[in-house]
């Protein structure tokens, strides 16, 4: 199937052509026709699947077909609410790209910066607004934004929204929306509380599920390095020095940990920057901008800061710490191997994280291949395990120790 089969209007088709997108991704194939028909949608999909275009294209097309260019002032007719500033900016960039040959106007609002520039853009009139919940409610309270004319509402990354404590904000926003509207609800995972929230938003909806495996596993090469916690930084330096030009996101579980990694890398003459919630919005944007332009090859990120970040041609995702929530692993490795590129996801696993690795392998339903010929191999056994290991676990350990023997340490390897 090509985009031509989806009967996309000429100005959007032109924008897709210039991006070189010919074939819709599975979520786009399924969602675009439904959304053009006016259906509500529950999408169980994560970033990396092409989900942004799956909702942006039909919204732009419907607004394009129904709008009157002469009508002034413009009113906000489509609202996309997303949890983080980075995602908001990225979604707006997508809308801007796909709508560049139409007269439609988009803008993005988020907290952490002064509101002046955002308010000026809003006052010039916009059709499509992408917002994070806090700033949106703030500007509604100041009577700068009205949701009275919303025809299309998208709640993006609903599970992360709840994780970040936005539930009350979301409920307040929903109350302000007109009854008659088309609603789209996206979440990477669908636990009970998310399903319940979706029911308060959607009306007679269709459901599309794109499995994480489809989204990631095929294009992402995965591997795990067993390494002592104290050796992780040295292993990281060694890997980064081997591939000095490769764009790499390194995931750290904590903000403090991310800062520590940056310091150590700088000492080893590896240029890197951290993005996390304690950094100012400007610092985050600067780091991300430099990374996207290729001026900076290594970004250290926490999960919340990095989720959904779309960097084309990302070569490596390195899990400096394994996440304790297995779904987070899938989100992280989805940063590489995006629609076009293929990539590598490398995980560092210390003794305490071996249980996390087992949970991840259960979720993705595959074993992550173990790299055992590196300079910092930790071949110690799990001693503090209470339960007798299952056959599968024993097999896994054997695999993990293929090149057993004394841990090799390269004589010229850096020592952080
Ligand atoms: P998303 O899941 O929306 O973050 O999209 C993931 C990446 O795939 C982004 O870089 C998109 O620009 C890109 N993309 C989306 N749709 C297509 C497509 N049909 N063909 C090629 N790349 C795409």
Cis before 133 (ω within 30): no
| Nearest atom (ligand 1) to Cα of 25 | 19
Which of these, 76, 21, 77, lies nearest to 54 by C-alpha position?
Answer: 21
In which band, very low, low, confident or very high, does the pLDDT at 281 lie, cut at 50, 70 and 90? confident
Of 339, 341, 343, which is best to mutate to test ligand 1, by the most ligand atoms within 8 angstroms of its C-beta? Answer: 339
Q: Ligand 1 mean position to 94 CA, how many Å?
A: 9
β-pair type (128-131, 78-81) = parallel
pLDDT, residue 222, reads 92
What distance in angstroms lies between residue 339's CA and the mean position of ligand 1's atoms?
A: 5
Backbone φ, ψ for residue 114 (5° rounding): -65, 150
How many CB atoms are located within 10 Å of the residue 234 CB? 21
Parallel, antiparallel, or unpaired: how do β-strands 78-81 and 272-275 relate? unpaired
Structure tokens at 81: 């609410």
Helix (H) / strand (E) containing 116: helix 116-123
- Pick the more confident residue, 284 or 385: 284
Alpha helices by DSSP H, listed for 220-336, are: 232-242, 255-267, 281-293, 303-306, 326-333
State yes or no: pLDDT of 397 exceeds 70.
no
Phi and psi at residue 318, to the nearest 5°: -115, 120
Count Cβ atoms within 10 A of the Cβ of residue 211 and give its class: 0-12 exposed, 13-18 middle, 19 or more buried: middle
Report pTM.
Answer: 0.66
Instruction: List domains and CATH numbers for the chain.
Output: 3-210 (3.40.50.300), 220-386 (3.40.50.300)
Give the mutation target among 338, 342, 343 for probing the ligand 1 site: most ligand atoms within 8 A of CB: 338
Instruction: Say whether pLDDT at 130 is over 80.
Output: yes
Q: Does residue 295 register a pLDDT over 80?
A: yes
Backbone angles phi and psi of 4, in degrees to 5: -60, -35
Which atom of ligand 1 lies nearest, measured to the CA of 45? 2
More confident residue, 53 or 383: 53
Digit-coded pLDDT (tens) for 2-36: 998 999 999 999 999 999 999 999 999 999 999 99
Which pLDDT value is given to residue 398?
36
Lowest mean per-residue pLDDT among 64-73, 255-264, 310-319, 404-413: 404-413
Q: What per-residue confidence (pLDDT) applies to 118?
A: 97
């Amino acid at each position: 199937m090509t985009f031509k089969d989806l009967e996309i209007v000429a100005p959007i088709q032109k924008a897709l052509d210039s991006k070189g997108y010919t074939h819709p991704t599975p979520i786009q194939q399924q969602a675009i026709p439904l959304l053009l028909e006016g259906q509500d949608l529950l999408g169980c999909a994560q970033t990396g699947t092409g989900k942004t275009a799956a909702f942006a294209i039909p919204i732009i097309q419907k607004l394009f077909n129904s709008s009157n260019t002469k009508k002034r002032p413009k009113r906000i007719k489509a609202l996309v609410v997303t949890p983080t500033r980075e995602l908001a900016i990225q979604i707006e960039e997508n809308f801007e790209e796909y709508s560049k040959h139409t007269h439609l106007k988009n803008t993005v609002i988020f907290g952490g910066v002064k509101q002046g520039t955002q308010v000026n853009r809003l006052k010039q009139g916009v059709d499509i607004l992408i917002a994070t919940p806090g700033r949106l409610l703030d500007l509604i309270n100041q009577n700068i934004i009205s949701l009275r004319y919303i025809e299309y509402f998208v709640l993006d990354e609903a599970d992360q929204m709840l994780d970040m404590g936005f539930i009350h904000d979301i409920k307040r926003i929903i109350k302000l929306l007109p009854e008659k509207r088309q609603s789209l609800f996206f979440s990477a995972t669908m636990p009970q509380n998310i399903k319940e929230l979706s029911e308060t938003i959607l009306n007679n909806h269709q459901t599309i599920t794109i499995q994480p495996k489809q989204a990631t596993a095929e294009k992402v090469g995965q591997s795990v390095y067993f390494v002592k916690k104290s050796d992780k930084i040295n292993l990281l330096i060694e890997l980064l020095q081997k591939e000095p030009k490769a764009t790499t996101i390194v995931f750290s579980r904590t903000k403090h940990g991310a800062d520590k990694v940056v310091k150590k890398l700088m000492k080893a003459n590896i240029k890197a920057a951290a993005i996390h919630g304690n950094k100012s919005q400007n610092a985050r944007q600067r780091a991300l901008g430099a990374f996207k332009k290729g001026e900076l090859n290594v970004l250290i990120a926490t999960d919340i800061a990095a989720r959904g970040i779309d960097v084309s041609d990302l070569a490596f995702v390195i899990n400096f710490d394994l996440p304790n929530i297995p779904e987070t692993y899938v989100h992280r490795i989805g940063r590489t191997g995006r629609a076009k590129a293929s990539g590598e996801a490398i995980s560092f696993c210390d003794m305490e994280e071996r249980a996390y690795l087992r949970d991840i392998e259960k979720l993705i339903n595959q074993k992550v291949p173990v790299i055992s010929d590196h300079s910092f191999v930790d071949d110690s056994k799990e001693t503090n395990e209470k339960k007798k290991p299952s056959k599968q676990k024993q097999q896994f350990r054997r695999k993990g120790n293929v090149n057993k023997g004394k841990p090799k340490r390269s004589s010229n390897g850096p020592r952080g």
